[in-house]
Structure 1
Amino acid sequence: MGTARYLLLTSFKIDGSPVATPVWAALDNGKLYVSSLPDAGKVKRIRRNPEVTVQQCTIRGKARGEIVRGTAVLLDEAATAKARQLIRHRYGFQGWIATLSSRLRRGDNANIGIEISAS
């Protein structure tokens, strides 16, 4: 799962219906790290229900491969910085531009890190 360029992160609404979002992710010590805007829907859903699934996907979010169940944890500021660094390292110049541009537009707390462990 950690070698796929894009992952489909699925979080769940209050009524249990799934909402899938293609994301960049970096693998470190058996856990996946994702970065998101703090007011994004997936972050709000994870706050209510940390159960998620991940699956390989295309850049447009077309699912491929097996579905893996996991538990997501929203990270504090220091751990978010680590997640951001992992994504920059994994995606090179594109990752650096993506994380920097959101920080320039929204400030230092522009993103929140999400750590995903397999259930």
Structure 2
Amino acid sequence: MDDVTRFLAEQQYVELTTFRRSGAGVPTPVWVAPDGDDLLVVTVDGTGKTKRLAHTDRVELRPCSVRGEVAPEAPRYAGRARVERDAASVARVKRAIGAKYGWWYRALTVVEPVLERLPGRRPRAAVVITDVVPLDS
């Protein structure tokens, strides 16, 4: 794991910015966990993040608070992201997030198996972030 990946993986929250077709960025605070050289995010499929990643794999990352507040001096990073929807990929992300966030993650997902059976419930998707490099020098 390189220093950039390690730094971002150590953050409690990371602002993940995905981009609209117009080029406008849409920031979202997320949990992120490392897996080798990749950074992993779990999300609900069909959200804005997954829709925007369908047309561009460009993302930006910055450390942030739970509310998405970013310190003025926070470093910015660029990367590539892809959405993976297969069961093995989603399980990989859930394991990594669970290992990093422990009981916080388990508390939020304890009712997930029941909720997944409800009509209209959207499945989870894995966001795999690669090729992360600093934007600010």
Would you say same fold, with TM above 0.5? yes
Counterpart CA distance in 2 for 1:96 and 1:34 is 15
Unaligned runs of 5+ in 2: 1-7
Equivalent residues in 2 for 1:38-57, closer than 5 Å: 38-57=45-64
Q: Which runs of 4+ in 1 moved over 2 A?
A: 97-104, 106-110
- Aligned ranges for residues 81-100 of structure 1 at < 5 Å? 81-100=91-110
TM-score w.r.t. the length of structure 1 is 0.91
Bigger Cα Rg? 2
Structure 1 residues not aligned, in runs of 5+: none
Deviations 1:68-103 (A, max 9, x none): 100001123211111011101110111123234344
Cα RMSD over matched residues?
1.7
Cα distance, 1:35–1:55 mapped onto 2, change above 3 Å: same
Residue 7 of structure 1 corresponds to which residue in structure 2? 14
Structure 2 length normalisation: TM-score?
A: 0.80
Mapped contact 2:46–2:122 kept (Cα < 8 A): no
Structure 1 distance, partners of 2:122, 2:94, is 11
What is the aligned length?
Answer: 119
Identity of aligned residues (%): 27
Bigger Cα displacement from structure 2, 98-107 vs 7-16: 98-107
